[in-house]
Amino acid sequence: MRVSSTDFQNAVGKYLTLAQKETITITKNGKSVAKLTATSDPQEFIINEAKGNYNVRRHVSYEEYEKIVGNSEKRFELINGEVYLLASPSFRHQTIVFELAKQLDSHLHGRPCRTLTAPFDVRLFGYATKFSENPNVVQPDVVVICDLENITEGGKYEGIPELLVEVLSPSTKGKDLITKLDLYQRSGVREYWIVDPDKNILSQYAFTEERELLSNEFYRETDILESIIFPEFTLELSRIFKH
């Protein structure tokens, strides 16, 4: 597309949007003087949780995501083609994560299951049959995996976790409550806990093998939670909210 410099100056926003689809040639006195093209740098499409930047212009491929991760020491997630730069957690966030992981790990001792905490990549693929068809990479605050055969030779996990836990922070509420809830359900996760440290509430979601909602319960600080996937496991919420 060719536009005059005058037209471009009068409608910059319009042509910036169009440039995402095609190259814009800017002319002056009938001669080409500049070109406006879409950037190919995947760094331009990262959602920064700490800044609340949720305006993404396009999705990135898994190959682009790997390039971002490979060139940085920061932590990222890839969900539905969108890349999230993870914010640093607070002290209380981490004490809750530690207490949850400690109790789960103690209960599962001696079983073929492992309790892990972030940073650890969990590769999910929704309703697809393999990761390459719908690649998603998340770093849950706590994850319990019992299908250890799905740990790859490179130390990556590409399976269906039994239980996932996310502890909310101001910058992640929308993602944890909506985006991740949807992804975890579609991916076959059987149980998902969302911990709200501001309200001292834990939301428990359980799903069927057919990936439909089985139950949704809310627990307060004085309650005792009973796990669905591990029915013999109980959790006194006062212990995780004591700090």
pLDDT digits (tens, 9 = 90+) for 100-122: 999 999 999 999 999 999 999 99
pLDDT at 39 over 70: no
pLDDT digits (tens, 9 = 90+) for 171-201: 888 899 999 999 999 999 999 999 999 999 9
- Supply the pTM of this predicted model: 0.79
- CATH class (in words) of the domain with range 91-240: alpha beta
**How many Cβ atoms sit within 10 Å of the Cβ of residue 192?**
23
pLDDT at residue 200, rounded to an integer: 96
Q: Which residue has the tokens 């991916």?
A: 187
Q: How would you classify the pairing of strands 24-28 and 2-4?
A: parallel
What value, to the nearest 5°, has the Cα angle with vertex 175 and ends 173 and 176? 65
- pLDDT reported for residue 44: 52
Identify which has the larger pLDDT, 236 or 26: 236
* 46 has pLDDT over 80: no
CA 135 to each of CA 34, 60, 76: distance values in angstroms, whole numbers, following the listed order: 38, 11, 14
Buried b (16+ CB within 10 A) or exposed e, 114-132: bbbbbebbbbbbbeeeebe
Instruction: Give pLDDT, residue 1.
Output: 87
116-175 residue pLDDT tens = 999 999 999 999 999 999 999 999 999 999 999 999 888 889 999 999 999 999 888 889
52-94 per-position pLDDT tens digit: 554 555 688 999 999 999 999 999 999 999 999 998 999 999 9
Task: Tell which wins on pLDDT, 225 or 14.
Answer: 225
